[in-house]
Homo-oligomer: A and B are copies of this chain.
Amino acid sequence: MANLCFGIDIGGTSVKLGLFTITGELLDNWEIPTRKEDKGSFILQDVAASLEKKIIEKALNKEDIIGIGIGVPGPVKEDGTVLQCVNLGWGIINVAKEMKTLTGFDTRVGNDANVAALGEMWQGGGKGYNDLIMVTLGTGVGGGVILGGKIVTGSNGAAGEIGHITVSYDETESCNCTKHGCLEQFASATGIVKETRRLLEKSDEASSLRNVGVLSAKAIFDAAKEGDSLALQSVEQLGRYLGIALSHVAAVVDPEAFVIGGGVSKAGEMLTEVIKKHYEQNVMLALKGKEFKLATLGNDAGIYGSAKLILEK
């Protein structure tokens, strides 16, 4: 009986691979480097070779393997066509078709942020929910929308671009997307640091953050937990921008829960509490009382979600 599958998360530096049971147990996981030479043309071959090696190493029966799920850093169409992955050097390429040709296994492909959301729903912080929003606070701010247990892709693969919801109309600096005032400019790891620097410059108030060597999101939350007034102001502002953005999201799809992940989410419940406070202030009655959960799978969310993707086919 086919009861295994592979979940794969292709990143700009490394490819993460996992062998899963259909009930969500991770039996093995490993990484290979992402070879970006020659427009990334070796990447899928390397993945196929690594899977073949693992099958031999573990003496797996190919008939037990349902297929392969893959997450990629770019927009993906329903049929597995990737339109562009700048980080991998890829142009237009049907990843599902290529992997099927290379391995013989059925393959499904999704955008990495969406796939991570699916992973957290399956075995992570969103377990037990069918309608959820994941927000990843890392170098950028990513998002994934899951409705009825399925990823919402959007007509151009741009659903869940929560990081580019405008939350400030006074911001003069440009976002990476060229707009001004995107959530990502305030709630990414770098955004939090930049905003805290602004607060420190504007104020004469004493703050332990003035003595920190390298200001980081972690340092800011640590200081806030110690009661540092400026750090607390910064955390409050972060919560306000996130709460406002998620209030907009809720008015569109009315999810059961929000799952907060990415490096910044290591701040823990102080983060979810402050987001929830501002969310509640900005939604109508019918949208109040949502759950705010921390992601639990960390960097493995992508392989979990990719595996789930092929199980859902």
Name A's B-contacting residues (CB within 8 A): 75, 131, 145, 147, 152-162, 164-166, 177-179, 182, 244-245, 247-256, 282-287
Contacts and interface: CB of A to CB of B under 8 A. Distances in A.
Contact of A252 (B155, B177, B249, B282): B249
Contacts of A179: 282-284
A145 B159 CA distance: 13
Contacts of A155: 131, 254-256
Contacts of A244: 166
A106 to B, nearest CB: 21
Contacts of A253: 145, 152, 154, 159, 252-253
Contacts of A249: 248, 252
B75 A286 contact: yes
A278 to B, nearest CB: 11
Given A177-B285, A178-B285, A157 B254 contact: yes
Contacts of A182: 284
A255 B287 contact: no
Contacts of A177: 284-285
Contacts of A159: 252-254
Contacts of A164: 251, 283-284, 287
B75 A154 contact: no
A162 B182 CA distance: 20
A251 B144 CA distance: 11
B161 A247 contact: no
A313 to B, nearest CB: 16
Contacts of A285: 177-178
A263 B104 CA distance: 56
A147 B152 contact: yes
Instruction: Across the A-B interface, give the 4 residue pairs with the lowest CB-CB distance, nearest first.
Output: A154-B254, A158-B286, A248-B248, A177-B284
Q: Which of A160, A248, A252, A256 has the most CB of B within 10 A?
A: A252
A239 to B, nearest CB: 15
Nearest to A182: B284
B256 A157 contact: no
B287 A252 contact: no
